[in-house]
Chain A
Amino acid sequence: MIVLTPLREFQFPVMAECINPSVFQGKSTDEIVALSVWEGNKQKKLGDLFKVEEDKAESPNITINGDTSEVRRIGMGMKDGEIAINGNAGMHLGAKMTGGKITVHGDVGGWAGAEMKGGLIEIHGNTGDYLASPYRGSTEGMHNGKIIVHGNIGSDAAVFMHGGTIKIYGGAGQFLGFRMRNGTIYVEKDAGTRVGACMTGGKIVVAGFLEEVLPTFTIDSVKPKVKVEENESISGPFYVFLGDLAENGNGKLFVSEANNPHLSRYEKYL
């Protein structure tokens, strides 16, 4: 396994898509040191920015110790293997990944897991905006895989989600699950407004406080519990809303009854 330690604090963004187990695979330390990265508009070697050491342990394949909040594209497009980051990580972490695992013991920037197709990302801090969302213009969001965030997430997460699971043990910003078609999102704490706008399928569970449900959602029932994953159910009770009717959608929005007394006005429509 390879241990990377930043040699200094980075002033400019560093583009390091080479920090990827399948790129490191079969390379000696010297070859890894020579991999090219961009720091601002200057092309550099990985060894110029990081101390690269080899460790005997098998797993994880790559460990980063230190603050890499300016280092972008770590694990972008990774297929297998494991990356552990002890510190913060920058934008585009694990974007377009198809397999493998990334664990971060710190905060992560925006676009983490963007256009993700498989694998697992576990973040023990907060994340920025656009978690698991597609890049500008694209309608291909997260297709599969799993993301677990133990902190809060920014806005516009899981846009155009097609599948997979996202579990957030903190709160979420606005427009969570915008235009989602399939998959499951679970938010343990509060969610911002316009949850599930334009969704046409899939499931969003808000166990905390939700200020309002969009008027294009209709109440369906009250359920005592909801399944989030295989073998994992969250007990409620939950109001179940269907929508987004503006898009002829059939998505399900579960909102905790206990934490949202103001939504009791919907009960008369049941």
Chain B
Amino acid sequence: MELLIKNGYVYDPINGVDGEKMDIAIRNGKIVKSVRGRRAKKIDASGMTVMPGGVDIHCHIAGSEVNTGRMLRPEDHAKDFERKTVLTRSGVGYSVPSTFTTGYRYSRMGYTTLMNPSMPPLEAKHTHEELNDTPMLDKASYPLLGDWWFVLEFLQKGDLEECARYVAWMMDTTKGYAIKIVNPGGLEAWGNDFYVHSIDDQVPGFCITPREIIRGLCKVNKMLNLPHTIHLHTNNLGVPGNYVTTLETMKCVEDLATDDKPVMHVTHCQFSGFKGDSWTTMESGAEEIANYVNHHNHLTLDMGQVIFTDTTTMTADGPFQYTLHELSGHKWVNHDVETETSAGIVPFHYRRKNYVNATQWSIGLELALLINDPWKIFMTTDHPNGGPFTAYPKIIAWLISKKARMATLKRTHPKAQKRSLLPSIERELSLYEIAIVTRAGQAKALGLKDKGHLGIGADADVAIYNVNPEIDLSRKYKTVRRAFTNAAYTIKDGKVVVKDGEIVRYVDGRTMWLDVKTAEPVKVNDEIKRKFKEYWTVEYENYPVTDNYLKVSNPITVKASV
């Protein structure tokens, strides 16, 4: 199967291609130098923008948490449903779409790779069952390891090598992709009726602090040579004044970086960038964070942009969700995942005319615009916490056009408008930079060698948008928004799956996971089995996700240095 995309304006930041008019040749699901066959299918992309398929580094799309969110919100589905067609199944939206609808909707926007960021190891089987049913996309999951008792015990003992072996075992057991840390220590503390307010607070029951957990797992990550860095959701998330904790967290791994490579990914940073000491005095801490990030190269961030809409917040950060439930009075689900983590779900409506919500909206954009290097900050909504992923085109318009963001800012809370930094920021991202924040940068941060670029040998995941880069994008931001809402073509593994915003072909995506080769594997001895009997509700034998559990398994072998 050969395919030739002709005459498009190509944006391929990893290979330094900036809007050059060129052809992209595809054979057998890979990008190649040229195709000879006269039978090669040709796509005329003249006047259109060609980019690698979109990559989302952080979106909650599958797992027990998402599914509980679906059950919690029938009213969310009632307002947004899709009928079945010949090719696609019926499904519902809006903020927690059903699995198939998630796949279709991402694909319609030109996305081809997703990362599901919070998988409690105990719920890994459920997560993979749902990922199997999320078509059109390649995907992977991060197991939550920051509050896992085994990790805490080994870090407390200072036995990093053994900890690394257990993390490697967990990657294989849960078929995970990266180390996810949520409110390190804070979840364990909350289970004991304590809050962790700074990274130097002691975790009750363990002789350890969040700082030691972050540093320990960061070192473990390096020992195992994992492709992605540690993926961190900071302590004190969503609390006014938390930007201090965020900066402390960023500083605490500064010395672990070598050769300018990132060692930490701070996710949905908007929720971690609040200044002030109460909700009434809450302000944006984006300037301080951006200032720090501009002077350091050891971390990457993603936005966690807020959209003014009715959405469902869900995170493993149980204490934060409890606070949100108390604040909003809305319905709430809480879950304690045995020795591993916790979870909470609360529906939330972000309102323009609410001072705090409007400030949050502003913080996300300020972060994206004030951090000069687009390779350090990526575009997400932390779907569905900041808003559903279907709002990505809106964010692209806000980033690409000052006019677009001022039009929205004008309709927000007056005090938030006055305090927002947005009027003073002239920066408008180019399509090249948009390609970085939506695909290239994310793929690079994730260590996905075959994704996020159109170089020879890369996976043939391509998105073609019907927008001519020669128009004044800043003024015609509505055209940009329309183009990114419905991709002209989405190509997955060399097959056209979407044309003009309609699904034209069904494909199953692959599930990527890490097969970490350690010199000495974890010995599953009676001690572990005893712990399973004592701590978990499942037997050891029922715990691991076996390879045949995945519909299309795509192991990535990593050689660890322990």
- A137→B72 contact, CB < 8 A: yes
**Residues in chain B near residue A139, CB distance under 8 A:** 330-331
* Interface status of A266 (Cβ within 8 A of chain B): no
- A135→B74 contact, CB < 8 A: yes
Complex CA distance for A135 and B78, rounded to whole angstroms: 9
**Residues in chain A near residue B331, CB distance under 8 A:** 139
Q: Please encode chain A, from 132 to 143, with 1 for each CB lying within 8 Å of some chain B CB and 0 for all others.
A: 001111110000
- A136→B330 contact, CB < 8 A: no
**Residues in chain B near residue A138, CB distance under 8 A:** 74-75, 78
- B74→A137 contact, CB < 8 A: yes
* Interface status of B76 (Cβ within 8 A of chain A): yes
**Residues in chain B near residue A135, CB distance under 8 A:** 74-75, 78
Complex CA distance for A134 and B78, rounded to whole angstroms: 12
Majority DSSP secondary structure for residues of B touching A: helix
Q: Please encode chain B, from 515 to 533, with 1 for each CB lying within 8 Å of some chain A CB and 0 for all others.
A: 0000000000000000000
* Interface status of B296 (Cβ within 8 A of chain A): no
Complex CA distance for A69 and B485, rounded to whole angstroms: 43
**Residues in chain B near residue A134, CB distance under 8 A:** 75
- B330→A137 contact, CB < 8 A: no
> How many A-B Cβ pairs are below 8 Å?
18
Complex CA distance for A139 and B310, rounded to whole angstroms: 12
* Interface status of B197 (Cβ within 8 A of chain A): no
* Interface status of B551 (Cβ within 8 A of chain A): no
**Residues in chain A near residue B73, CB distance under 8 A:** 137
Complex CA distance for A134 and B74, rounded to whole angstroms: 11
Interface size range of chain B in the complex:
under 10
Q: Please encode chain B, from 493 to 516, with 1 for each CB lying within 8 Å of some chain A CB and 0 for all others.
A: 000000000000000000000000
**Residues in chain A near residue B74, CB distance under 8 A:** 135-138
Q: CB within 8 Å of B: which of A185-202? A: none
**Residues in chain B near residue A137, CB distance under 8 A:** 72-76, 78
Complex CA distance for A139 and B73, rounded to whole angstroms: 11
Complex CA distance for A134 and B73, rounded to whole angstroms: 13
- Give the nearest-CB partner of B73 in chain A: A137
Q: Please encode chain A, from 200 to 217, with 1 for each CB lying within 8 Å of some chain B CB and 0 for all others.
A: 000000000000000000
- A156 CB to closest chain B CB, in angstroms? 16
- Give the nearest-CB partner of B78 in chain A: A135
**Residues in chain A near residue B76, CB distance under 8 A:** 137
**Residues in chain B near residue A136, CB distance under 8 A:** 74-75, 78
Q: CB within 8 Å of A: which of B56-78? A: 72-76, 78
Complex CA distance for A139 and B349, rounded to whole angstroms: 12
Complex CA distance for A134 and B72, rounded to whole angstroms: 15
**Residues in chain A near residue B72, CB distance under 8 A:** 137
- Give the nearest-CB partner of A247 in chain B: B329
- B240 CB to closest chain A CB, in angstroms? 24
- B263 CB to closest chain A CB, in angstroms? 42
Q: CB within 8 Å of A: which of B529-562? A: none
Complex CA distance for A135 and B73, rounded to whole angstroms: 11
Complex CA distance for A139 and B72, rounded to whole angstroms: 12
- B172 CB to closest chain A CB, in angstroms? 39
- B325 CB to closest chain A CB, in angstroms? 13
- A17 CB to closest chain B CB, in angstroms? 14
- B518 CB to closest chain A CB, in angstroms? 47
Complex CA distance for A138 and B310, rounded to whole angstroms: 12
Complex CA distance for A138 and B73, rounded to whole angstroms: 8
Complex CA distance for A134 and B76, rounded to whole angstroms: 13
Complex CA distance for A137 and B330, rounded to whole angstroms: 11
- Give the nearest-CB partner of B331 in chain A: A139
- A179 CB to closest chain B CB, in angstroms? 11
Complex CA distance for A136 and B74, rounded to whole angstroms: 6
- Give the nearest-CB partner of A200 in chain B: B329
Complex CA distance for A139 and B74, rounded to whole angstroms: 11
**Residues in chain A near residue B330, CB distance under 8 A:** 139
- Give the nearest-CB partner of B74 in chain A: A137
Complex CA distance for A136 and B78, rounded to whole angstroms: 9
Complex CA distance for A257 and B75, rounded to whole angstroms: 40
Complex CA distance for A138 and B72, rounded to whole angstroms: 10
Among all A-B residue pairs, the 8 with the closest Cβ atoms = A138-B75, A137-B74, A137-B75, A136-B74, A137-B73, A135-B78, A135-B75, A136-B75
Give me the interface of A with B, judged by CB distance under 8 Å: 134-139
7 A-B pairs within 8 Å (CB atoms) are namely: A134-B75, A135-B78, A136-B75, A136-B78, A137-B73, A137-B74, A138-B78
Other A-B pairs, 15, CB within 8 Å; known A135-B75, A136-B74, A137-B74: A134-B75, A135-B74, A135-B78, A136-B75, A136-B78, A137-B72, A137-B73, A137-B75, A137-B76, A137-B78, A138-B74, A138-B75, A138-B78, A139-B330, A139-B331
